[in-house]
Structure 1
Amino acid sequence: MRAEDNLRACFAGSREGWRPLGRLGQCGTKDAGGWRAQSAAQSVLWTPSPGQCSCFMVVFPSPTVIDKFDYVFAENGTVQYKNGQLVSKQAIQDHLGEELLQDLINFCLNYMALLKLPKKRGTFIEFRNGMLNISPIGRSCTPEERIEFSELDKKERIREKFVAALQREFAGKGLRFSRGGMISFDVFPEGWDKRYCLNVLDDERFDTIHFFGNETTPGGNDYEIYDDPRTVGHSVQNPQDTVQRCREIFFPERANEC
């Protein structure tokens, strides 16, 4: 069962008046090597509510996902779907301007050109609507190479040092940097973090919003929404942990199911 289907099953017959938001940091396909790289950046925002409203947050939404949920938020909510229809989309190039955008890209390319790693692959900068995703090893690395880089990054703080250099170079330029997954970090305009989706959900006037995420420490791409006063934050480890925690909190009588 896919992660989003598992969450749907867990919340069938949901209670009214509250809204849990869950982030599944590594949802999607799985193989012998572990969770696939392209799935690691995806998030789930599950929102049972009066009338069974539900939301799903992904990096690249598929038609299947768009049709399955009432709301779909892509790229921190800068791309928004409601009832299967695109309702809003921001563009980072329009917000930052071409000059600053190219300065940012050129700095990253120069920095990575001088970075010596055990392995480098491809897709070092991924240009998205609401952010740039920067990966020193390259997003096309294999699952094994991904794990290898992650372990090295824990010891040598490769991404942390990269982000620190960017913060110095672009201080006062209105940019934010956040760690995402195992091999990359995101760059986006101030205010374009995951809290962006709350601007839409606020209009629904729910009493409580619960958020579940695995990158909830400062510098992680879940931190801002996890720490936001509009949400009740829960730190989780993986999709299975998210489902189990939701059951324990909202449906304790069903905590041992699936």
Structure 2
Amino acid sequence: MLQLLSALRHKVAIGFVGGSDLAKQQEQLGTPQIPVTTLFDFCFSENGLTAYRLGSPLSSQTFIGWLGETKYKELVKFILHYVADLDIPVKRGTFLEFRNGMVNVSPIGRNASVAERNEYQRYDLENKVREKFIEALRKEFPDIGLTYNERNLPGGVDYTTIHFFGDKTFEGGNDYEIYADKRTVGHSVENPEDCYKQLKALFDL
């Protein structure tokens, strides 16, 4: 895949966007010898709130710095109480994770296995757990300007033609907002192998 991305980079600018912090993305996409920020023209960690362009960091803001410690503690208290009261099939651990530019909330817990997460995803789509959670947050905190479960397109980029590839592109999925955004050409992939095939075909690699 890295060889394919290197070849693709000779034709177009490439980048990635994800909810994880840069250290996690380094594990997922880079190598011990090669920083991930050198492999892509644009690197958007924490849904774009931490960003790099051609290996150099762009200006960023911390979530707590923007929101303030007092309001942040109110938000955390509400989230943890809400999750504790949820009656869902499985709960594991790490229900709330603070990141530099966001708060990641997982009703099932980030310690759940891949199989458990996939099963919960199906349960959530049927029972709208996440949708109801977001409604409760909007009602409790109507004045602090948060966005929920969205991977918004980061600013400061010329969006002439952006091809976005993601696997959770269904409505309610983590990739849906960018996939469906009018500024992108969305491509739904099943797995890395499918992404590889689509990239080769689309860009004649």
How does the TM-score come out when normalised to structure 2? Answer: 0.78
Q: Which residue in the other structure is 2:72 paired with?
A: 101
User: Distance between the aligned counterparts of 1:207 and 1:79, measured in 2?
Assistant: 22
Q: 2:21 aligns with which of 60, 81, 91?
A: 60
Is residue 250 of structure 1 aligned with residue 203 of structure 2? yes
Count of equivalent residues: 194
- Contact 1:124–1:135 (Cα < 8 Å) also in 2: yes
- Contact 2:153–2:178 (Cα < 8 Å) also in 1: yes
Q: Structure 1 residues 173 and 207, CA, compared in 2 at 3 Å: closer, same or farther?
A: closer
- Contact 2:21–2:99 (Cα < 8 Å) also in 1: no
- Offset of 1:133 from its aligned partner? 0.8
Q: Which residue in the other structure is 2:156 paired with?
A: 200
User: Distance between the aligned counterparts of 2:119 and 2:78, measured in 1?
Assistant: 25
Structure 1, gaps ≥5 residues long: 15-47, 179-185, 187-192
Name which of structure 1's ranges 165-174 and 106-115 shifts more when overlaid on structure 2: 165-174
Q: Structure 1 residues 7 and 91, CA, compared in 2 at 3 Å: closer, same or farther?
A: farther
Structure 2 matches for 1:54-133, cutoff 5 A? 54-58=14-18, 59-61=20-22, 62=26, 64-133=35-104
Q: 1:240 aligns with which of 193, 199, 202?
A: 193
User: Distance between the aligned counterparts of 1:13 and 1:108, measured in 2?
Assistant: 45
User: Distance between the aligned counterparts of 2:200 and 2:160, measured in 1?
Assistant: 19
Tell me, what secondary structure is at the counterpart of 2:59? strand
What letter matches 2:202 in structure 1? I
Is residue 11 of structure 1 aligned with residue 8 of structure 2? yes
**Higher relative contact order structure (alpha carbons within 8 Å, sequence separation ≥ 6):** 1
Is residue 223 of structure 1 aligned with residue 194 of structure 2? no
- Contact 2:44–2:51 (Cα < 8 Å) also in 1: yes
Q: Structure 1 residues 246 and 144, CA, compared in 2 at 3 Å: closer, same or farther?
A: closer
Query: When you count helix as a share of all residues, which structure comes out higher?
Result: 2
- Offset of 1:131 from its aligned partner? 1.3
Over residues 199-240 of structure 1, what are the superposed CA-to-partner deviations in whole Å (9 max), with x where a residue is unaligned? 2322xxx74222223344554443333343432233333333
- Contact 2:6–2:39 (Cα < 8 Å) also in 1: no
- Contact 1:57–1:76 (Cα < 8 Å) also in 2: yes
After superposition, the CA RMSD in angstroms is 2.7
How does the TM-score come out when normalised to structure 1? Answer: 0.64
